[in-house]
């Protein structure tokens, strides 16, 4: 790495690198959505999508959008509009394979949790795929085995959630919550 990793807002120019990171992370799994679908998810909630900037390239990203509890994006369709809900769904978090094991995934997740708290979200959810339930459990997420996840998310996909710690009322006032 040329620079210390910095978490920043995802910019329009980042999408090709985000799509490449996604393609590499999910190669052979059938979970690759492609750039257009990823962009559609980022467009509905740009304030909750971030990248891990290494200076000369991206080392990872996180895409999250408001989604009702116990629901999740359709991987076969683009996102049309943001949902009005107190739940923020962490749709995708990827760290470049060469950078894994350095705590960068937890750093991205922690940044997103702080943003969720600042914006007044009460819960965060995700679908753990590719055997990553343990990673998410280590960050405090709880499995909901009673919630059926569509087969398109891959075998053993699991819906998980966590309560967001309360940090401040700023977003609730802005959003009229």
In order, the DSSP letters of 93-137 are EEE-GGGTTSSHHHHHHHHHHHHHHHTT--EEEEEE-TT-HHHHH
**How crowded is residue 141: how many other Cβ atoms within 10 Å of its Cβ?**
21
pLDDT for position 4: 85
pLDDT digits (tens, 9 = 90+) for 66-91: 999 999 999 999 999 999 999 999 99
The model's pTM: 0.90
Residue 169 has pLDDT above 70, yes or no: no
pLDDT for the residue 3: 72
The torsion angles phi and psi of 66, rounded to 5 degrees, stand at -60, 130
Q: On the CB side of 78, how many CA atoms lie within 13 Å of its CA?
A: 12
- Output 174 or 155, whichever has higher pLDDT: 155
User: At residue 174, does pLDDT exceed 70?
Assistant: no
Q: Which of 21-25, 73-77, 135-139, 173-177 has the lowest mean pLDDT?
A: 173-177
Asked if residue 149 lies in contact with residue 70, where contact means CB atoms within 8 angstroms, the answer is no
**Is 173 a residue whose pLDDT tops 50?**
no
62 Cβ contact list (under 8 Å, min separation 6):
49, 50, 90, 92, 93, 108, 109, 111, 112
pLDDT of residue 172 exceeding 70, the answer is no
Q: Which of 91, 29, 103 is nearest to 59 (CA)?
A: 103
């Amino acid at each position: 790495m040329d620079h210390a990793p910095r978490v920043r807002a995802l910019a329009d120019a980042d999408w090709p690198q985000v799509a490449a990171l996604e393609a590499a992370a999910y190669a052979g799994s059938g979970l690759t959505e492609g750039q257009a679908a990823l962009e559609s998810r980022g467009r509905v909630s740009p304030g909750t999508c971030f990248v891990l900037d290494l200076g000369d390239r991206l080392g990872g990203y996180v895409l999250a959008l408001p989604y009702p509890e116990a629901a999740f994006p359709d991987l076969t369709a683009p996102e049309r509009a943001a949902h009005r809900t107190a739940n923020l769904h962490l749709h995708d978090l990827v760290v470049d394979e060469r950078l894994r094991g350095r705590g960068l995934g937890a750093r991205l997740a922690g940044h997103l949790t702080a943003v969720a708290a600042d914006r007044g979200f009460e819960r965060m959810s995700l679908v753990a795929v590719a055997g990553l339930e343990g990673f998410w459990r280590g960050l405090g997420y709880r499995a909901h085995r009673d919630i059926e996840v569509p087969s398109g998310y891959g075998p053993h996909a699991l819906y998980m959630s966590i309560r967001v710690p309360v940090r401040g009322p700023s977003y609730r006032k802005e959003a009229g919550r």
